[in-house]
């Protein structure tokens, strides 16, 4: 029979100085576990792994790399580069030394600040109104508000392939000279607030209705056709004169 693995803290102990890691999306993180063998460590008898826990199962994390040069110091460091939303979750740090072993749980939370807010101003044809749009990506889902505005905004969100929330808020109103508006993104889970200021009279883009676009296209085609029709008879005498001169 093979040797029996004993999970006993008296023989071998795994410790963590930090149970929760909250990191920014796209950054790097190193999860740390410390262990005590009560003496010299024989690295050939040591095995360390980081397992992601989910749905009552534990799978080895392919995203984490063990920094083996720190094992002799009693540290198991697992490096995860360019953290993605899919990296968030609970991990089990398992270390086995000879016939003894121990583990501890770590939690990784990933946040993405709504720091880049894209704005757009559209002039509504036929009326003295504009559409103000604010759009940003982040995580977790943020709330959007427009301070000092009584008109309700239309706010929606979608999920990006990377797992981020793309939040779009549209406000339609009648602008007043000298008055700016601001949209505020509030990430309640992370206690983060970002905002952008919009000048309704700056960088106006006309909103072209699809009903207007079709006549414009047809008129352009008609003008081009008439021009070609008129030019065709004139080209033949011109070419004939040029040929005679030669």
Q: Who contacts 15 (Cβ-Cβ below 8 Å, separation ≥6)?
A: 33, 34, 35, 36, 104
**Which of the listed CATH numbers 1.10.760.10, 3.40.50.300, 1.10.287.130, 2.60.40.10 matches domain 6-111?**
2.60.40.10
pLDDT digits (tens, 9 = 90+) for 227-246: 666 665 555 554 454 444 44
The pLDDT score that the predictor gives to residue 139 is: 96
- Note down pLDDT in tens along the chain; length 246 residues: 444 444 554 567 899 999 999 999 999 999 999 998 677 778 889 999 999 998 766 667 789 999 999 998 899 999 999 999 999 999 999 999 888 889 999 999 999 999 999 999 999 888 989 999 999 999 999 999 999 999 999 999 999 999 999 999 999 999 888 889 999 999 998 899 999 999 987 754 444 333 434 444 456 665 666 566 666 555 555 445 444 444
Measured distance CA(208)–CA(97) in Å, rounded: 70
Phi, psi of 56 (to 5 degrees): 60, 20
For the chain, the domains span 6-111, 118-206
* Fold observed for domain 118-206: Immunoglobulin-like (2.60.40)
The SS3 call for residue 12 is: coil
| Other Cβ atoms within 10 Å of 126 Cβ, number | 8
Burial of 144 per CB tally in 10 Å (0-12, 13-18, 19+):
buried
The pLDDT score that the predictor gives to residue 205 is: 47
The pLDDT score that the predictor gives to residue 2 is: 46
The SS3 call for residue 89 is: strand
Q: What percent of the chain has pLDDT over 90?
A: 59
Closest-CA residue to 140 (of 195, 172, 185, 95): 185
Domains 6-111 and 118-206 share a fold: yes
The pLDDT score that the predictor gives to residue 7 is: 52
pLDDT digits (tens, 9 = 90+) for 127-166: 989 999 999 999 999 999 999 999 999 999 999 999 999 9
């Amino acid at each position: 029979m093979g040797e029996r693995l004993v999970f006993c803290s008296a023989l071998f102990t795994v410790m963590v100085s930090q149970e929760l890691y909250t990191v920014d999306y796209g950054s790097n993180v190193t999860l740390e576990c410390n262990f005590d063998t009560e003496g010299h460590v024989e690295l050939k008898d040591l095995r360390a792994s980081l397992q992601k826990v989910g749905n009552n199962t534990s799978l080895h994390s392919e995203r984490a790399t063990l920094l083996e040069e720190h094992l002799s110091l009693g540290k198991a460091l697992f490096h995860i580069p360019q953290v993605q939303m899919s990296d968030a979750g609970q991990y089990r740090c398992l270390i086995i030394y000879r016939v003894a072993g121990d583990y501890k749980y770590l939690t990784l939370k990933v946040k993405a600040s709504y720091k880049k807010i894209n704005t757009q101003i559209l002039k509504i044809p036929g009326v003295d109104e504009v559409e103000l749009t604010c759009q940003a990506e982040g995580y977790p889902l943020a709330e959007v508000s427009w301070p000092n505005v009584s008109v309700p905004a239309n706010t929606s969100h979608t999920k990006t392939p990377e797992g981020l929330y793309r939040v779009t808020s549209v406000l339609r109103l009648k602008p007043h000279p000298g008055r700016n508006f601001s949209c505020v993104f509030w990430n309640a889970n992370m206690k983060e607030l970002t905002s952008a200021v919009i000048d309704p009279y700056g960088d106006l883009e006309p909103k072209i209705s699809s009903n207007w676009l079709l006549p414009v296209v047809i008129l352009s085609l008609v003008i081009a056709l008439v021009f070609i029709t008129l030019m065709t008879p004139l080209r033949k005498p011109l070419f004939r004169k040029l040929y005679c001169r030669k």
